[in-house]
A and B are shown apart, each in its own frame.
Chain A
Amino acid sequence: MSVDEATVRRIAGLARIGVKEEQIPEFARELSQILAFVERLDAVNTDGVMPLTSAVERQIKRRDDVVSDGGKSADILANAPIRDDDYFAVPKVVE
């Protein structure tokens, strides 16, 4: 399926990636090319095939539901681009 420019704008918006107007035709061409390639899968009959989500099928190991870590707010905030006291600071979200 060929990706048009409106679709590029929509996907970029969903992915929260700012794309300049002049980049849109190039992305549309490249994404169309990649999608044309992956659409080769249409030739495979997958009727009745269960999707594989885990490469090595195994029961995930359980652990006790107890607190094992915490109290590290200084570590967690250490790399914040902008912080305000013990909070990450972002532009105002609620008017």
Chain B
Amino acid sequence: MSDLIKLSLSDARQALRDKEITAVELTQAHITHMEASRQLNAVVLETPERALEMAKASDQRIQNGTAGILEGLPIGVKDLFCTKDVRTTACSNILGDFTPPYESTVTQQLWDAGAVMLGKLNNDEFAMGSSNETSRFGPVINPWRAKDSDDNLVPGGSSGGSSSAVSAHIGVAATATDTGGSIRQPAAFTGTVGIKPTYGRCSRWGIVAFASSLDQAGPITRNVRDAAIMTGAMAGHDVKDTTSIDIPVPDYEAALTGDIRGLKIGIPKEYRVDGMPREIEDLWQQGMDWLKDAGAEIVDVSLPHTQYALPAYYIIAPAEASSNLARYDGVRYGNRVITDGDITSMYEATRAAGFGDEVKRRVMIGTYVLSAGYYDAYYMKALKVRRLIADDFTQAFKSCDVLLTPTTPSAAFPLGQNQDDPLTMYLNDVFTVTANLAGLPAMSLPTGLDARGLPLSLQLIGPAFGEEIILKTAHVIEGAAQFTAQPHKWWM
């Protein structure tokens, strides 16, 4: 393995600035490694020629002294982000070979900052899943394996291509999206860092919509500093997304001061769920101890409606999905199934062939909860519970600055294990979904290994636009945890 692919985003940035390496060298090393890592199935479309062209332009700008903040850094893009003239499918058959004539705002900002696109990354179909097993391109494999085991593990989902690619050093970072935990849970399963910013912090324009009131873009990286740099480049107001918020983007890297003295860390007692593995309990306690040692104060808080977050989510997200996915009808883009019948039979045949089973289930649940006679009992009820969940956080943040919880109730599980039972799969999101419902920024970072040698992570949740507080706190935990474990390169 080339030394160049060992570099983190911030180390590669420094080496490029110091002219120790060129963007073309760095990009070529990552392309070679991407091609050698195809067994992981993290990349659904490699764009090596485009990458080298972008890298050449970066070297030029570095020479000219006009380098952007991500100049020459090779990254992967989740296949949910529209990329101009590059096939974008949301990993669904229904989109066929859809090739957007436009670029998503977030990716445009990354290219404007000088980043280099290596390719498009696998995800669960329309971002619906927690294991990256529902993609039309097949499952993604986690680079991590349990000790003395050859079993393939899932990389989490829906951003499983992003987490696997960053963990395997295919790219220095990746874009991802998070509707119920789709950045944080895959990050936790692969020993990487993931941050879901506040709702409205990043533009959703040009990102394939799943549940519009919950979706938010963010990065997956290998350390906290890299997450700060990527978040800064992705964030910002966009006139094309009326829900994006027009407040200045702070210098997130500057927030990594290491000083959290006097910060109040809230521990929500409702996150101590029944049957939680001892290892997760210990990890959580260790996190509290590290923060206490750094001068923070631990306070107990209560989020009494936590147990209702998942049921509310599984009404609201499918309801919005059923509306958003109505556009896939075979008329304007994507695949069409031609029938002998009328236009309705064309719609039905197109959607039957184009959507996978999990997408069909969610669209049907969403249709049901929005249908006449059920709307108040399900959908309105869920929106009221959502208010109570958001109010819980408002209350909690009166007595603390940031919340500390585990990210997931377990480490990565084997492929196929939870596939037959949608509800068991949904439980993966039990700790992450609350932040989406309340629109709050939240972040996952690896802090230890379980007995089988698999990464485990802690989550930080902040108040709205509290990205700086969670990054600052995560940086302190990272320093204390010294998580340096890497998956062994069995796939090469």
Partner-B contacts on A (CB < 8 A): 3, 7-8, 11-12, 14-19, 27, 30-31, 33-35, 37-44, 46, 49-56, 58, 60-61, 63, 68, 72, 75-76, 78-82, 88, 90-93
Contact = CB atoms under 8 A, between A and B. Distances in A.
A57 B364 CA distance: 29
State the majority secondary structure of interface residues on B: helix
Interface stretch (B10-18, B52-60, B374-382): B374-382
B108 to A, nearest CB: 15
Contacts of B382: 38, 41
State the majority secondary structure of interface residues on A: loop
B312 interface: yes
Nearest to B328: A16
Interface in B66-108: 96, 98-99, 101-102
Given A17-B351, A30-B422, A55 B439 contact: yes
Nearest to B381: A41
Contacts of B329: 16
A63 B333 CA distance: 30
Given A80-B333, A91-B346, A51 B101 contact: no
B383 interface: yes
A27 B364 CA distance: 9
Nearest to B246: A61
Given A53-B213, A91-B341, 20 more contacts: A11-B368, A15-B351, A17-B348, A31-B361, A33-B423, A37-B314, A40-B311, A44-B308, A51-B384, A55-B390, A56-B245, A60-B242, A76-B101, A76-B332, A78-B101, A79-B98, A81-B330, A90-B331, A90-B343, A90-B346
A16 B351 contact: yes
Contacts, number: 168
A46 B346 contact: no
B308 A40 contact: yes
Contacts of B361: 27, 30-31, 34
A90 B111 CA distance: 38
Contacts of A12: 364
